[in-house]
Amino acid sequence: MLLDQYRIRQEPYYRPLKDEVELFGAAYANRMPVMLKGPTGCGKTRFIEYMAWRLGRPLITVACHEDMTAADLVGRWLLDAEGTVWSDGPLTTAVRLGAICYLDEIVEARQDTTVVIHPLTDDRRVLPLEKRGELIHAHSDFQLVISYNPGYQSAIKDLKESTKQRFAALDFGYPDRSAETEVVSREAGIEPNLADLLVKIAQHSRNLKGQGLDEGASTRMLVNAGRLIGCGISLEKACETTIVVPLTDDADTRNTLRDVISASA
Amino acid sequence: MLLDQYRIRQEPYYRPLKDEVELFGAAYANRMPVMLKGPTGCGKTRFIEYMAWRLGRPLITVACHEDMTAADLVGRWLLDAEGTVWSDGPLTTAVRLGAICYLDEIVEARQDTTVVIHPLTDDRRVLPLEKRGELIHAHSDFQLVISYNPGYQSAIKDLKESTKQRFAALDFGYPDRSAETEVVSREAGIEPNLADLLVKIAQHSRNLKGQGLDEGASTRMLVNAGRLIGCGISLEKACETTIVVPLTDDADTRNTLRDVISASA
Amino acid sequence: MLLDQYRIRQEPYYRPLKDEVELFGAAYANRMPVMLKGPTGCGKTRFIEYMAWRLGRPLITVACHEDMTAADLVGRWLLDAEGTVWSDGPLTTAVRLGAICYLDEIVEARQDTTVVIHPLTDDRRVLPLEKRGELIHAHSDFQLVISYNPGYQSAIKDLKESTKQRFAALDFGYPDRSAETEVVSREAGIEPNLADLLVKIAQHSRNLKGQGLDEGASTRMLVNAGRLIGCGISLEKACETTIVVPLTDDADTRNTLRDVISASA
Amino acid sequence: MLLDQYRIRQEPYYRPLKDEVELFGAAYANRMPVMLKGPTGCGKTRFIEYMAWRLGRPLITVACHEDMTAADLVGRWLLDAEGTVWSDGPLTTAVRLGAICYLDEIVEARQDTTVVIHPLTDDRRVLPLEKRGELIHAHSDFQLVISYNPGYQSAIKDLKESTKQRFAALDFGYPDRSAETEVVSREAGIEPNLADLLVKIAQHSRNLKGQGLDEGASTRMLVNAGRLIGCGISLEKACETTIVVPLTDDADTRNTLRDVISASA
Amino acid sequence: MLLDQYRIRQEPYYRPLKDEVELFGAAYANRMPVMLKGPTGCGKTRFIEYMAWRLGRPLITVACHEDMTAADLVGRWLLDAEGTVWSDGPLTTAVRLGAICYLDEIVEARQDTTVVIHPLTDDRRVLPLEKRGELIHAHSDFQLVISYNPGYQSAIKDLKESTKQRFAALDFGYPDRSAETEVVSREAGIEPNLADLLVKIAQHSRNLKGQGLDEGASTRMLVNAGRLIGCGISLEKACETTIVVPLTDDADTRNTLRDVISASA
Amino acid sequence: MLLDQYRIRQEPYYRPLKDEVELFGAAYANRMPVMLKGPTGCGKTRFIEYMAWRLGRPLITVACHEDMTAADLVGRWLLDAEGTVWSDGPLTTAVRLGAICYLDEIVEARQDTTVVIHPLTDDRRVLPLEKRGELIHAHSDFQLVISYNPGYQSAIKDLKESTKQRFAALDFGYPDRSAETEVVSREAGIEPNLADLLVKIAQHSRNLKGQGLDEGASTRMLVNAGRLIGCGISLEKACETTIVVPLTDDADTRNTLRDVISASA
């Protein structure tokens, strides 16, 4: 079956921050659309994979971007030997067959993309395929989930009020120190002590946000650093390669970060 | 029959605000084009579904967006095994077969979309399919309805005077307290007391419009909150998830909203 | 015959303003291109339909818009089972078969549209179909007519001098009080007294142009109001729905208009 | 033969201004590219038709516009039942078969259009069809002629220096009074006295250029006025319709023009 | 063979300015990419034709322009009766079969065009046809040459540093007086005395660069003037037509140029 | 096998700067995405070719540019005799078959290109082909590498924070004097003394960065100069052709560079 490739086969590792698992469960029980808000690399994608596994539903993820149109979501006519045949897009597949559809960074997409989800996110729960003259009533298992990074949006690129008001929303952030240590230790396969040291470095870097850095080091960066260390690279070199050089090109900010690392090591 | 999928099978729940049902009826008797004006989530879509049910006409709804062109409404040539075949768009289907066509947020669409409706909205009642060399005289049951949110329009994106003057227009707003309580109670399946409490919270939030909020909580948000409460989520958590977090990312405005909720609870 | 659908079968009701019928007749006798100038809803479309009926010529009307290209007027290659076949656009049909072609609001169209009409509007009277390698000499009955609303044009969107100078031009405006009363009474099927009252309201509203209104109420709006009244709606409600709400969203201007209506009623 | 439709069958009426016929003849003898410079409606198109007739060469005219691309001039692949077939554009037809190709208002076209003519306008006289992998050596009768209205060009839309320097250039302007009278009398079929009167009116209007008018009345407008008079329209009404109303919407400038007309009549 | 049409059959007339023939020869021996820099009409195209003849290599010239994309250079899929077939572009033909490819005014092209040449202009000498999944190793005779007019480039339209640094570059300018006289005399077929007179006029005009003229008269213009004189046109008329009118529309600058011509004659 | 054309057959000459070989090896062991940062012509491309050779993996390089879309990377539907067939893009080929995919100057590409790599650069290591309804799990040998020139990026064209944080990053710069001398001597086939002299010239030119030059002479330019000298061109002429003329059109900066060259020679 087509949906099989979208099933999560193993329980993804996910450490809850607060009550997001309970709230998401209640929203899904109502098939209420949900918006995940939070900075990059803090675990939104992992959370939705975990919930899809927990609820036993297939998950179709679409990474949205500036050039994405409604047709990329909904489907299009393709020319075949027997003429044009309709090809369902990922959203239509989810709507028809009953998957959770996760639109990652929806605000990046072109506006027609956000409008296409309106009739799916109120009591109608329908998807009109105007180019095909078909009106699909959503499968009873279907749910729409979107992500949204509040720090990025400009005035031009924001969700319209009439879109926002259709979603229940959950806030995400970096986990607290002990939780993040647990995540890094597990994901990078390193000792908790070393993971804790990396978390302290990250927390220092997050205080530099707005003072030379656009964003502090994410949990993902710490996992990368831990993995290089696991290959025999020294802590300083590993942090230089996975944190300092990727985060900034400014010499002063780099030195500040290096001081933080030396002090922590 | 193709139109069957567009028939409203059950009476939609709709609670009239003023005399809009009578006025719409008189407009339809003249097949006069109608414009529904009002903010997001206040019931325009529900109203047109109710009127379509009441008048016994199929309803074809099109959510307009920035990338929508006249071809999306009117139709296009598709390549088939026997060559190109013409495929009617949703507006053409409504014109030919006699449905009410509802163009939601028409000003979002590209300008050619608004021009295409001109010959349908005066005494000619014709739709020229220029790409096909056909001139369709509208079915006697056909009516055109558009929606329009006055708060959103910029100078650039507004209806042209020559478009506006073709429509009878109806104003929509949030219902009064007792009416809104009735709606929320019924839609969310919660007690009137609890619904009334949610309405009071919404009315407070609407006073914050322009003071941190672009728009107050809509009736739709209250229904969402009520449904989560119905799943055993506490009032505070439900309002946090369906009202506070979706409406704003500003910490101060969030706290103001939380104070309103605590005070009401 | 293809042109039959473009014939005006019944004499359209048209009440001349000045000598426009005579002047248009002389221009048509010379097959001179004509430009109709004037505000929205004052009867330009009705006039050209009347002249087409009077001259016994089919009328092909094209509503121009921002996304319209020369190909939409002239025609294009379509893919068929036997390969590509040429499909004449509405202008080409008129040129080949001898209709009056009316390009409504030509300045809205993309510039290639205006250039395509140049060789048709001087002594050559030819239409080159460059994509087809064909040069069509216009049918002896063919005439080109365009409309133009002087109030709308910005510096960017105006006819080029080399286009303007090819046309004879006729000015249109609102009819005088007794003429407009006659039109409204006839079109809406209401008593002359009531029609006169609506005309007085419209004339007041036209004085508000530039003072809150972009344009006053057109004759078309008065007909709409009259028709609602004919269905049993009160004068105030009918004017509110067809004049006040469509014309403006500004509360003060709305009240001014309501005062005018109450004073007239 | 394909070129036959582009032959000028009758001697076009053309009254030389200066030595342009001799100069063009010498340029053609060298197959030197020629640029015709001058305002709208002063006879550039008629001149090139006359020269094509005099030299016995077919004339392919292309009205350039903003959306015109090199493919519109050069040709393109079309899909046919046997696959894609190449279709020559008008420039390629002229190059291959030996016509004069007249690109009217070349600066309006997209830049790729001007670049495509470079290898045709130096000693190489070749046209590379890159999309077809073919290099055409121009027929020995081929010549390229372009027109250019110096008054219109903005800094953005001008010929590149490397294009300009490839052309011999001829200046065109309005003919002197007696010559213009002769043209108007002949073209409109009216008495010389009346034609002279119209020419005087035009000369007055040309003095208003820059003082309310973008351009004075062209010879073409006088012919239009003369033709309406020939149908029994009065001088004042004819001038109002063919000169005053087309030239300007400004009430004061219109009155100035009307005074000029009354004074002349 | 396909390349045959790109061979230069006769030795092109070229008069060296400095040591450009020797330097180009050394660059070709290394298959080093070369950039020809200099103003319009000074002989860059003639030089590359001469070098291609001298080195015995076919020459494929592409005039670049704003709308040119990488596909125009590299090739594209075309639909044929047996499905899509790949069609090599001019650059790919040169790379595969071993020609000199001359990209004239490369900075005019869209940026993807300049990027496509990167892997051809370092030691890899490969052209990836991504759309075809093919990696072509350049024929050992292939060389890439581009031209560049330093006076034209704006900040927006310039070669990227990473492109510039891949090319050896040769400066071109107008030849000195005796050399230019020789060129004009030979190309226009006129006496050296007359040619010298034209060169003096051109040199005066070049001093007006920046004082009313964007660029002085090129050698090409002098050849045009000489050819008209050879057809019996007077020196003044010939210079008026090939130099004064093409170069400027400003009346004062035209008179200055006419004074120069009269003084020289 | 398709990948064979992407294998590096001979060990590329590469002289390590610091510990980049060890760090890249550890990153590859974790299949961690890597970003190479540094100025033009300093050896990033050579480094990745060396690492691909050393790790024994095929290397698919894509030069990114402004007009590149996700479809150019991922693949597209092509029309064939039997209907549409899917054609993998270079990234998909690398993901499926297990190559290193090197996206050169990724920030030049359109944003959809960067988004497409997100699910490949976290623990999912999947590539969704939305247009095909397929989800590819990356081959265990696949690794993604991108390059990035920090000096070029404007605020508009930069990697998003959510992209940057997925990569380990390595800094590249010009090698030190003795290392660069070794490279130039080897690549150009000239004596170390002469190579050292060219390196000194380059180092002087790099000090002029920001004082007339956008960038100093790259190692690549020195190799070009050395190769011309190897063909018997003098040092001055070789440097003029490969360094002075390509780097700048400013007369003063050119003279400064010439002084540097004369002083070094």
Proportion of chain F above pLDDT 70, given as a percent = 95
pLDDT digits (tens, 9 = 90+) for A156-192: 567 878 888 899 999 998 888 999 999 999 999 999 9
Contacts of B80 in chain A (CB under 8 A): 83-84
Of residues D152, D151, D144, D186, the one with CA closest to residue D169: D144
pLDDT of residue E153: 47
CA distance readout (Å), D132 to D128, E75, E85, E92: 9, 10, 13, 13
Whether F258 contacts F208, CB under 8 Å: no
Instruction: Lowest mean pLDDT of B163-177, B186-200, D183-197, E110-124, name the range.
Output: E110-124
CA distance F89 to F73: 5
Q: Does the distance separating the beta carbons of F246 and E167 come in below 8 Å?
A: yes
Note the ipTM here. Answer: 0.84
When pLDDT is averaged across residues B105-116 and rounded to a whole number, the result is: 79
Give me the pLDDT at residue A72, please.
84
Rounded alpha-carbon distances, angstroms, from residue D62 to A242, C158, D11? 61, 22, 21
Rounded mean pLDDT, A148-159: 64
Question: In the predicted model, what is the mean pLDDT of residues D146-153?
Answer: 74
Percent share of chain F, pLDDT over 90: 57
pLDDT digits (tens, 9 = 90+) for D105-126: 888 777 777 778 988 998 889 9
Q: Name the amino acid, one letter, at F70.
A: A
Establish if C22 touches chain D: CB-CB under 8 angstroms: yes
Is the Cβ of C259 closer than 8 Å to some Cβ of chain D? no
Question: How far, in Å, are A122, A192, B58, B110, F236 from residue B35 at the CA level?
Answer: 21, 64, 18, 18, 78
Residue with the bigger pLDDT between A30 and A84: it is A30
C114 → chain D, closest CA residue: D65
pLDDT of residue D160: 79
The whole-angstrom separation of Cα C210 and Cα A21 is 58
Which residues in chain E are contacts of F90 at CB distance < 8 A?
A: 128, 130, 133
Each residue's pLDDT tens digit, C49-73: 999 999 999 999 988 877 777 888 9
Q: Is D84 on the interface with E (CB under 8 A)?
A: yes
Two structure tokens written together for F79: 């029309």
Percent of chain C with pLDDT over 90: 58
pLDDT at site A123: 86
To the nearest 10°, the Cα dihedral for F118, F123, F129, F130?
-70
Measured distance CA(C59)–CA(C90) in Å, rounded: 10
**Cβ B165 vs Cβ B114: under 8 Å:** no
Contact C30 D227 (CB under 8 A): yes
Task: Express each pLDDT in F46-84 by its tens digit.
Answer: 999 999 999 999 999 988 877 777 888 998 877 665 667
Q: Specify the pTM.
A: 0.74
The pLDDT, as a whole number, for residue C80 is 63
Q: Which of F69, F161, F167, F171 would you mutate first to test chain A, the one with the most A CBs within 10 A?
A: F161
What pLDDT shows up at residue C209?
A: 84
Would you say residue C154 has pLDDT above 60?
no
Using the beta-carbon criterion (under 8 Å), do F112 and A67 form an inter-chain contact?
A: yes
- List all residues 6 or more positions away from D169 whose beta carbon is below 8 Å from its beta carbon: D34, D35, D36, D37, D148, E241, E242, E245, E246
Between D76 and C14, the more confident residue is: C14
E68: its two tokens = 């040119």
Give the range with max mean pLDDT: B108-122, E13-27, E77-91, F117-131. Answer: E13-27
Strand partners, E36: E147, E170
Q: Of B8-12, B37-41, B112-116, which one has max mean pLDDT? A: B8-12
Q: Does A21 touch chain B (CB under 8 A)?
A: no
D104 to C116: CB separation less than 8 angstroms, yes or no: no
What pLDDT, on a 0 to 100 scale, did the predictor assign at position B11? Answer: 93
The pLDDT value recorded for residue C155 is: 45
Give the residue from D10, D45, D65 with the most C CB atoms within 10 Å of its CB, the best one to mutate.
D65
Tell me which DSSP letter residue E108 carries.
G
Q: What pLDDT score does C95 carry? A: 97
| Contact across the interface for A64 and F162, Cβ inside 8 Å | no
How large is the average pLDDT for residues A6-10?
Answer: 90
Q: Which of residues 202-231 of A touch B (CB under 8 A)?
A: none
- Per DSSP, the three-state class of E63 is strand
pLDDT in tens, A196-219: 999 999 999 998 888 888 888 999
Q: For residue range D221-255, what is the model confidence (pLDDT) as tens digits?
A: 999 999 999 999 999 999 999 999 999 988 899 99
Chain D closest-CA separation from residue C86 CA (Å): 11
| Placement of tokens 């351009």 in the chain | D215
pLDDT (0 to 100) of residue C38: 86
Other chains touching E, judged by 3 or more CB pairs under 8 Å:
D, F
CB-based burial, D131-163: b 16+ in 10 Å, e otherwise: bbbebbebeebbbbbbbbbeebeeeeeebbbbb
**Residue E100 in this model has a pLDDT that exceeds 60:** yes
Per-chain mean pLDDT for chain D:
88
More confident residue, B32 or C210: B32
Question: Quick one: what percent of chain D has pLDDT higher than 70?
Answer: 94
pLDDT at residue E152 above 70? Answer: no
Q: CB-based contact (8 Å) between F27 and chain A?
A: yes
Report how far Cα F35 is from the mean position of its chain's Cα atoms: 10
| pLDDT at residue number F83 | 64
Question: What pLDDT sits at residue B190?
Answer: 96
C37 interaction partners in chain B (CB closer than 8 Å):
none
> Can you give the pLDDT at residue F205?
92
**pLDDT surpassing 80 at residue B93:** yes
Q: What is the mean pLDDT of residues A46-67?
A: 91
Residue B240 to chain C, least CA–CA distance (Å): 33
Q: Can you tell me the distance from the alpha carbon of B206 to that of B40, in angstroms, rounded to the nearest whole number?
A: 13
- Asked whether C122 and C111 are in contact (CB, 8 A), the reply is no
Which residue in chain A is spatially nearest to F170 when comparing CA positions? A241
| Predicted pLDDT of residue E155 | 46
Residues of chain D found within 8 Å of residue C135, distances taken between Cβ atoms: 5-6
CB–CB contact B119 C224 (8 Å):
no
Kindly report each contact of residues A75-82 with a partner whose C-beta sits within 8 Å and lies 24 or more positions away, as own/partner: A75/A129, A75/A132, A76/A131, A77/A131, A77/A132, A77/B78, A78/F77, A78/F83, A78/F84, A79/B79, A79/F79, A79/F83, A79/F84, A80/F83, A80/F84, A81/B81, A81/F81, A81/F82, A81/F83, A82/B81, A82/F83
Chains F and E touch (3+ CB pairs under 8 A): yes
Residues of chain D positioned with their CB less than 8 A from the CB of E63: 115-116, 118-119, 128
Q: How far apart are CA A27 and CA A36, in angstroms?
A: 12
Contact (CB<8Å) C90/B171: no
Asked if residues B182 and B208 have their Cβ atoms less than 8 Å apart, the reply is no
pLDDT digits (tens, 9 = 90+) for A123-140: 889 998 877 878 899 999
Q: Is the pLDDT of residue A92 over 90?
A: yes
Which chain F residues touch E116 with a CB distance below 8 Å?
A: 63, 65
Asked if F200 and F207 touch (Cβ cutoff 8 Å), the reply is no
pLDDT in tens, B55-91: 999 999 988 877 777 888 998 877 665 667 788 999 9
Q: Are strands A134-137 and D59-63 parallel, antiparallel or unpaired?
A: unpaired
List the chains bordering chain D where 3 or more Cβ pairs fall under 8 Å: C, E
Q: What angle do CA A190, A193, A194 make, to 5 degrees?
A: 50
CA distance F36 to F45: 9
On the question of pLDDT at C76 being above 60, the answer is: yes
Reported confidence tier of residue D79, pLDDT bands at 50, 70, 90 = low
Closest CA–CA distance from residue C25 to any residue of chain B (Å)? 24
Position with higher pLDDT, D156 vs C84: C84
Between residues A3 and F140, the one the model is more confident about: F140
Task: Determine contact, residues A115/B61, Cβ cutoff 8 Å.
Answer: no
> Chain D, 115-154: which have a CB under 8 Å from a chain E CB?
115-116, 118-119, 122-124, 128, 130-131, 133-135, 150
Res C136 pLDDT > 70: yes
Model confidence at C217, in pLDDT bands (50, 70, 90)? very high
Chosen from F48, F76, F154, F231 to mutate, greatest number of chain E CBs within 10 A? F231
Task: Report helix, strand or coil for E167.
Answer: coil
* Percent share of chain D, pLDDT over 90: 58
pLDDT of residue B157: 63
Q: What's the maximum distance between 2 C-alpha atoms anywhere in chain C?
A: 69
Q: Say what the pLDDT of residue E42 is.
A: 79
Mean pLDDT is lowest, of A176-180, B253-257, C142-146, C149-153, for C149-153
